[in-house]
Structure 1
Amino acid sequence: MTGINWEDPYCGEGNNCFRIGTDDHDNAYIALAGQEDHYLTDSREALRTLIRDIKAGKADHLL
């Protein structure tokens, strides 16, 4: 497997910090900062859709 290129952590107020990464095979990854060896993976397009939906408030009911 090609290495994952992790972005800087994103930290919400008082919440866990998350990291998003990509690889050379068009895969995207998300993990808790410091626990990058336990990640979720999907396509980059799926990650884009997730982020757009969260920004649009479609996941607010989960909070």
Structure 2
Amino acid sequence: MSDTPITWEAPFCGEGNSCFRLGTDPDGNAYIAVAGAEDTPLTDTREALRTLILDVKAGKADHLL
């Protein structure tokens, strides 16, 4: 991971599932990580991660959590 600082949001936890966190850096990149493992996040465009999280929250992909 680069040395670019990531600003993490509060963890999102599903019922009985792992928690994950979303983050952004000053360059506008978006990150997602399992809470507690923020040192190894996945990164993609903000729009791609936004779509993923909205689908998860809508129950379309809750099996991924």
TM > 0.5 between the two? yes
Unaligned stretches of 5+ residues in structure 2: none
The number of residue pairs the alignment matches comes to 60
**Rg bigger for which structure?**
1
Unaligned stretches of 5+ residues in structure 1: none
* Equivalence for 2:40: 38
Tell me the C-alpha RMSD between the 2 structures: 1.7
User: TM-score by structure 1 length?
Assistant: 0.78
- Between the aligned residues of both structures, percent identity stands at 65
Task: Compare the two structures and name the one with the higher strand fraction.
Answer: 1
Runs of 4+ in 1 over 3 A off after TM superposition: none
Q: Deviations over 1:16-63 (max 9, x none)?
A: 110000011111000011110111001111112222333273x36xx2
